[in-house]
Structure formats: structure tokens, C-alpha cells
């Protein structure tokens, strides 16, 4: 919900924005103003009119303030008001707003369960707008499918992230190892980790979660955690064991995974982890990697580039390795934005929603904003992002951003074949099913306390049964709302 400390200033600013008009902008700080840099195309959409209230995540107010200002320059006859929702999430915020009948017109940056919001009857389908919008063709079809329920599209993707592997390029040179290609194979990845392991160095910080991410790489019929979005079923029986076996094989190499060395502390003695990497902050899960003595940090999010900028060594983010017989299937995350039922100016609301999510103009100006940042100043935050459109103008804008590394560009170029790793955002009931029947068993198997062959069939039966019930309940609820 809206934090109490922000409520007074934001309500005042919303009123100021309404009276002054969109071209003045709005702000989360009464002492400053939002200044739009203008659309890079110079286009002005004077024919679109109305008032739009948008809810945005408070952690991203600074950048979104600029984006909204740019929108205001391009849409001078649209009045924009905004307020921020806290880290408690959009669902908590919307529940409170619904009770007081003060819902926004659109909400962007949601990282929570879209099925929950849709099932409450809050979210307006976007098909009437998307069907008439020529830019819809540039949104990867798989991404739109993620937000489609009962043949209606309820949200647009934004804030894309990928699972990735960070490589210490300086250590790579020091060990006289070849820099891998971006389409490296699982065999090449495994061999590189082995070659980087010695008494002084390790191949990777940790491998935990390896099997869940790599099921998609090893089997073209499943995605993250063996889930198939088309059949709406898990397939642990056939797709999990190969990934788990690979995880266990790598973990069995002495010293390859730095994290395993933490478990050697006996009777208060110094662990092998601190003996090898020093007495740093062992509460930091990336401590060994940050010392420069570990070649890779596996299965990071690309958003971790924010803290990686503080590293004292050269590094690059790489895609996850591939099975040549399967091809590139990366693990992707995405937040989303949507329009609320009862939006006061639907056309204007859609234009702002599109600008902040999948629109070409909004993404070009946003990319230009990131590209203009000083790459040597680590305090400037993100220097790039993944657009959720592959519009030619946006692709060209990415090419002009000198902060984007080759591995990041590779991930963007292959987003069309990626699978969703944040299933709790788009699959009704997934979070509960995962907590009840999947994660506990997977963790025991990773630790060697359970055999995949002995538990996979039971996992499939229980998880698929509960998930099917959740889907049925959700779709019956949508049918009721349509009546």
C-alpha cells in the first residue's frame, strides 16, 4: 500500500499535476519538478486527451518520473497524476485502493501475481487497443501469451530480466583460459569451471538452483522447473533427472563450488571457505566471487549488474549454456503493467501504459536516458535495460547504447525463445504448489537426501493435480466476471 510518509506529498502533487496539466509534470519531491526531454522522434500527439492516474513502484520513482515527463512532452493534452506503491506490492496497494474507491487508471512495474488482480475484477482486457495498434506485432508472441487468460490479454510486459552467469574476465586471463562464445555449450561451461578450480581459485560461487534453470536447456518440451506452459503441467518424471545429475556432478568436484566449502566448519574451526577466500563478510552470499578468486557467479539476474559495477575486476554477463540439440532457451523474468476497469480516459491510459511498457517511442527515450549516464560513476544506477519490444527503432537504440555488453545483447536477441522463470507472476496457484510439493523435495534431492527417480512421479501427480484445480477455479472466476 502507499506508505504513510509519502501520502501527503503525493496527494498534493497529484492535485498540482491536475491543475497545471501534463506538460508541467509531477514529482515525488515537492522541491523538484519532472522535466521531459521530449520524444526522440519529435512526434506530438495532440489528438489524445484526458486524465490518467498511474501507480508506480516507489523503488523506481526517479527513472519513471523522467519517463512520464517525456510522455507529457509528446502528449501535451493528457494530464498525468502518479502515486507510488511500496515494497508490499501492487496487490496490497490495490486492495486498499479498492476499499476506498480510489483506484488508479493504470499500474506499472507489478512484480506480483497477475491472476490475483485479474480474479478480483480489477484489470481491464487490452485487446481492443492491441488489435488496432500496429506496434503489437513487435511484442514477442510468447510474452503476450503469458498475460492471456480465456483468450483476453490483460497486461503488457516490462522490466525484463534474465538469469545469467557473470564471468571474471581478469581471472580468466590470469588462468590463461579462453573467453567462451555466447552460445557456449553445457560441456564447455562445465569444463571451464573445472579448469578454473585449484587450491587458490574456484570455478563458481554456488550452483544451487542449477537444475531448475537447466531443465529448459536440456529438454525442448519443458521450461523452468519442468513446467510446460502449453499443457500447464510439470514433467519431473522425465525432465528433471538430467539437470539434477549435472548439478550433482559439478558439485562433486572438490573446490569447484565455493559455497560447498562453507559446510566444512567443525567445532568452531575456520571453514575451508574462509581459509581459501579470507575472513570477509561471510553473510554476503557472493563474498568469494567479490574477492576475485572465483571465475563465475552462476545464475544471477541481469539486474545484479547494479552491484557488479562496484567490482574491482573486469567482468561480463553471459547467457546460460546450451545443449546443441535443443538450442538457446534462456530463463526470463518480466514485470507487467495493466489498465484498471473504470479508467477515466481509456485511450489516454493506454497510450501512457504503452509508453511505459512496450511502446517504441517510450522505449527509445528510455534507452537514450540510460545511454547518457556516466558509465564510470557507479552511483548512477542502471546503464541499460531489456525492452519488451523488438521494434526496429528500439533495436537501433540498443545498438547506440555503449554500456551494453555482448552477452546482454545476445540475451535480448534471443528473448523470443526464452522461458519464464517467474511463474508465480502469471500462473494461478503456482506459488502454493511450489511451496507444498516442489521446493521442499527439490532441496532434499540437491542435498543428496532424496533420489529424483524415487520422488519425481509423486511430485508430478500432486503438483499437477493441485495446479489444475487452481487453473479451473481461476477460469471459472473469469467466466463469472464476464457474465
> What is the CATH classification number for the domain harbouring 253?
3.40.190.10
Residues 360, 434 within the same domain: no
- Cα–Cα distance, 407 to 411 (Å, whole number): 6
Helices 210-218, 241-251: axis angle to 10 degrees equals 130
| Number of compact structural domains in the chain | 2
What is the DSSP-derived secondary structure letter of residue 154?
Answer: -
Q: What pLDDT is attached to residue 18?
A: 38
Give the end of a domain, one of 371, 399, 417. 417
Determine which of 7-21, 156-170, 194-208, 434-448 has the lowest per-residue pLDDT on average: 7-21
What share of the chain in percent tops pLDDT 70?
Answer: 90
Residues 180, 223 within the same domain: yes
Residues 355, 267 within the same domain: no
What is the DSSP-derived secondary structure letter of residue 323?
Answer: B
**Residues 281, 373 contacting (CB under 8 angstroms):** no
Q: Where are the beta strands (DSSP E) in 2-139?
A: 50-57, 78-85, 106-110, 123-124
Question: Mapping DSSP to helix (H, G, I), strand (E, B) and coil, where does residue 294 land?
Answer: strand
Is residue 432 in some structural domain? yes
Q: What pLDDT is attached to residue 243?
A: 96
Residues 322, 345 within the same domain: no
Tens digit of each residue's pLDDT (9 = 90 or more) over 288-327: 999 999 999 988 888 888 788 889 999 999 999 999 999 9
**Average pLDDT of 60-78?**
94
Cα 49 off chain centre by: 32
CA-CA-CA-CA torsion sign (102, 107, 113, 115): positive
Q: What pLDDT is attached to residue 69?
A: 96
What is the DSSP-derived secondary structure letter of residue 322?
Answer: B
Q: Provide the pLDDT confidence category of residue 266 given band limits of 50, 70 and 90.
A: low
Question: Mapping DSSP to helix (H, G, I), strand (E, B) and coil, where does residue 107 land?
Answer: strand
Question: Mapping DSSP to helix (H, G, I), strand (E, B) and coil, where does residue 231 land?
Answer: coil
- Cα–Cα distance, 100 to 74 (Å, whole number): 32
Is residue 483 in some structural domain? no
φ, ψ of residue 257 to 5 degrees: the values are -100, 115
Is residue 75 in some structural domain? yes
Is residue 26 in some structural domain? yes
Residues 106, 147 within the same domain: yes
The number of residues making up the chain comes to 483
Residues 267, 311 within the same domain: yes
Query: In terms of residue numbers, what domain contains 123?
Result: 4-160+333-417
CA distances from 13 to 6, 25, 72, 86, 340 (A): 11, 9, 15, 17, 21
Q: What pLDDT is attached to residue 134?
A: 97
Predicted confidence (pLDDT) at residue 12 exceeds the cutoff of 70: no
Q: pTM of the entire structure?
A: 0.90
**Residues 92, 1 contacting (CB under 8 angstroms):** yes
- Cα–Cα distance, 402 to 164 (Å, whole number): 20
Give the end of a domain, one of 378, 400, 417. 417
Residues 286, 298 within the same domain: yes
Residues 75, 110 within the same domain: yes
**Residues 379, 306 contacting (CB under 8 angstroms):** no
Residues 325, 339 within the same domain: no
Alpha-helical runs (H) found in 100-209? 114-119, 127-130, 141-146, 169-174, 186-195
Residues 262, 380 within the same domain: no
**Average pLDDT of 193-202?**
97
Predicted confidence (pLDDT) at residue 58 exceeds the cutoff of 90: yes
Q: Provide the pLDDT confidence category of residue 379 given band limits of 50, 70 and 90.
A: confident
Q: What pLDDT is attached to residue 342?
A: 95
Residues 283, 431 within the same domain: yes
Residue 193 CB coordination number (10 Å): 22
Residues 139, 168 within the same domain: no
Q: What pLDDT is attached to residue 93?
A: 97
Q: What pLDDT is attached to residue 8?
A: 28
**Average pLDDT of 432-458?**
94
Give the end of a domain, one of 376, 398, 417. 417
φ, ψ of residue 403 to 5 degrees: the values are -80, -15
Is residue 482 in some structural domain? no
Is residue 211 in some structural domain? yes
CA distances from 253 to 193, 197, 246, 274, 362 (A): 10, 9, 11, 19, 48
Is residue 57 in some structural domain? yes
Is residue 368 in some structural domain? yes
What does the radius of gyration of the chain's CA atoms come to, in whole angstroms? Answer: 24
Amino acid at each position: 500500500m502507499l506508505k504513510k510518509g509519502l501520502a501527503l506529498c503525493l496527494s498534493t502533487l497529484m492535485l498540482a499535476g491536475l491543475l497545471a496539466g501534463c506538460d508541467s509534470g509531477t514529482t515525488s519531491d515537492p522541491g523538484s519538478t519532472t522535466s521531459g526531454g521530449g520524444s526522440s522522434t519529435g512526434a506530438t500527439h495532440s489528438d489524445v486527451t484526458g486524465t490518467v492516474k498511474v501507480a508506480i513502484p516507489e523503488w523506481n520513482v526517479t527513472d519513471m518520473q523522467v519517463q512520464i515527463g517525456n510522455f507529457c512532452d509528446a502528449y501535451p493534452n493528457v494530464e498525468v497524476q502518479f502515486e507510488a506503491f511500496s515494497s508490499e506490492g501492487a496487490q496490497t496497494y490495490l486492495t486498499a485502493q479498492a476499499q476506498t474507491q480510489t483506484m488508479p487508471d493504470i499500474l506499472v512495474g507489478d512484480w506480483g501475481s497477475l491472476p490475483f488482480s485479474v480474479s478480483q475484477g480489477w484489470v481491464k482486457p487490452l485487446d481492443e487497443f492491441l488489435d488496432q495498434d500496429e506496434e503489437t506485432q513487435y511484442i514477442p508472441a510468447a510474452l503476450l501469451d503469458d498475460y492471456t487468460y480465456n483468450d483476453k490479454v490483460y497486461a503488457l510486459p516490462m522490466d525484463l530480466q534474465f538469469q545469467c552467469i557473470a564471468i571474471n574476465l581478469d581471472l580468466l586471463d590470469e588462468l590463461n583460459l579462453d573467453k567462451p562464445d555466447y552460445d557456449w555449450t553445457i560441456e564447455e561451461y562445465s569444463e571451464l569451471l573445472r579448469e578454473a578450480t585449484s587450491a587458490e581459485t574456484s570455478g563458481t560461487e554456488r550452483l544451487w538452483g542449477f537444475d531448475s534453470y537447466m531443465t529448459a536447456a536440456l529438454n525442448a518440451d519443458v521450461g523452468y522447473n519442468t513446467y510446460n506452459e502449453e499443457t500447464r503441467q510439470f514433467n519431473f518424471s522425465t525432465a528433471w533427472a538430467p539437470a539434477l545429475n549435472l548439478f550433482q556432478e559439478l558439485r562433486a568436484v572438490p573446490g569447484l563450488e565455493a559455497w560447498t566449502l562453507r559446510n566444512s566448519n567443525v567445532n568452531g574451526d575456520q571453514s575451508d571457505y574462509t581459509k581459501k577466500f579470507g575472513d570477509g563478510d561471510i553473510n554476503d552470499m557472493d563474498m568469494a566471487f567479490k574477492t576475485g578468486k572465483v571465475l563465475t557467479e552462476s545464475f544471477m539476474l541481469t539486474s545484479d549488474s547494479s552491484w557488479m559495477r562496484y567490482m574491482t575486476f573486469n567482468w561480463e554477463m553471459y547467457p546460460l549454456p546450451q545443449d546443441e540439440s535443443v538450442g538457446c532457451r534462456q530463463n526470463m523474468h518480466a514485470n507487467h503493467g495493466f489498465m484498471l476497469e473504470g479508467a477515466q480516459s481509456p485511450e489516454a491510459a493506454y497510450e501512457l501504459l504503452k509508453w511505459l511498457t512496450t511502446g517504441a517511442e517510450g522505449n527509445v527515450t528510455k534507452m537514450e536516458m540510460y545511454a547518457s549516464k556516466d558509465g564510470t560513476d557507479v552511483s548512477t544506477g542502471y546503464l541499460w535495460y531489456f525492452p519488451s519490444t523488438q521494434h526496429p527503432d528500439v533495436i537501433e537504440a540498443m545498438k547506440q547504447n555503449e554500456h551494453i555488453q555482448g552477452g546482454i545483447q545476445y540475451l535480448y536477441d534471443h528473448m523470443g525463445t526464452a522461458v519464464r522463470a517467474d511463474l508465480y507472476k502469471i500462473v494461478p496457484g503456482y506459488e502454493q504448489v511450489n511451496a507444498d510439493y516442489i521446493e521442499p523435495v527439490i532441496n532434499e534431492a540437491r542435498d543428496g537426501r532424496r533420489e529424483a527417480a524415487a520422488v519425481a512421479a509423486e511430485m508430478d501427480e500432486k503438483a499437477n493435480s493441485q495446479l489444475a484445480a487452481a487453473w479451473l477455479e481461476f477460469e471459472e472466476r473469469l467466466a463469472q466476471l464476464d457474465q
